[in-house]
A and B are shown apart, each in its own frame.
Chain A
Amino acid sequence: MTKNNAELESRNLAAVLRDRVREVYGTGTGIDGLVRLSGGASRETWSFDALLPDGQRVPLILKRDPLDEIDPGDPDVNLGIDRWSEGRLMQLAGAAGVPAPDVPFFLDADDRTSAGFVTQRLEGEALGRRIVREDEFAQARTKLAFQCGEAAARFHSIPLDQLPPLRNLPVVAALDYNQGVIDSFKQPHAGFEYAFQWLRERSELAGDRLTLCHGDYRNGNLLVDHEGLAGVLDWELGHLGNPISDLGWICIRAWRYGYYDNPVGGFGAVEDLLEGYEIGGGGRVSLETLRFWEVFGCMRWGVICMTLAFTHLEGRERSVEKVSIGRRAVEGEYDLLQLVD
């Protein structure tokens, strides 16, 4: 993108946000400090403040689709939900007692902007490697696994009839989906094949509840402050599925940032996670069921690594980062082979 385009884009967005802030917060309002935080091929994040007539500032974040058409081959697009649904999930989670940023308003796609939603900009740390390591989070780490269990129990309890339309991925469909992704690479993979067989033979262990799943519940998508869990972020892979898939995912080694002795996100113990889940109303989870979903999670991590590598290999986005991640698929393979029998 040229510099001029970027400036025009930013001016257009500022105008849209000023209009929407006036609609939501009233006349005499404005915006300030609009700056783009990140933008991959599939999503843009912007930070800005709403200025209220009494001089107060409301710190906000906008997450919107990219202005260019999204590549339908992009793996994120295949599984992801639209911005309206993502913002709606965050609102529902907040209402269910999950720490989550407020979502004061949405943007509809028009000739000036793509669709998006605006959230409160909360204070806290989302970088996983800092959360597991820094002294300032030592106190938070003692509670975090319990709080993650409790929060999951709460968003798993949201009544299905309140949810926006979501992809339905109960365990067998989820296994079929992932096996299909590997098959599409035409690179037969014995280690993951073993995992698929093992998981299919034990699919009754998965549990038969069908609930909202976060879909990417892990250290890295958690906002943490000195008190512990301050927000559950990034709901774009939200779907209907077996709830314990979220608990297995938060335990896989990819999110431990080297702190392998703390299975939950590199910061906590499985017992604390499951206790929080039970006290939060999610019911008692057996270690066998959790192991099932950890094996599933390791497989899923491997599939994601391969998918990113093939984004490069098939020429959709040439990137040394994406292709290198392909070699991390073996992390998932190695770990699941220690868990299965």
Chain B
Amino acid sequence: MRVLVVEDELRLAENVARSLRESAGYAVDIAADGQEGLFLAESNPYDVVLLDLMLPKLDGMELLGRIRQSGQHTPVLVLTARDDKESVVALLNAGADDYLTKPFDLGELLARTKALIRRGKGQPSPVVVIGDLELNTVNRTVQRGGKAITLTAMEYRVLEYLVHRPRAVVSKTELLEHLYDYNWEKFSNVIEVYISGLRRKLNQGSSRQLIRTLRGQGYMLQD
């Protein structure tokens, strides 16, 4: 999963990014002003955007409006210092999906971010079950047929993304875009490495192939 944090208070942005990377294994991009935020949001497919309202160059509300005008469905979580009813109503009406008032709790931010991603992908439950595969997004564990499977961080992130798009063809580019942040060199062959590792671990004790390869198109998770 890939998250965009638009926040001009650099230290706060870095703390949030670190927390998302460490506790959820998300790829995180940081934008320090509204213009950069808009550029990143328009040029990359994020799974959620964390947006501060008071931003230099381009105001948070305006940025939100532009994102929604361009037809993006990316969930937006607004970080605001104002908690009066009027401004909360205004930002929800402007297209925000949720809000948190500063100073917020990092744990709550994490939980809300995860919830927004789940809902954005039409998957309200934190435990995703596909066939005999069970993926718990809260404590990041995977089971197949009741047996726990230990995955590396990167393997988990690939599987988590695939699990949220079941029975859909997911291209390598899509995987790269959602698993790496902006500063990362993207090489499609690393995806192949993770997929083969995943297949090996998931197929232990089971004959049925979960991840199908569609040549020239990508991968599909099936039950």
- Tell whether A and B belong to one assembly: no
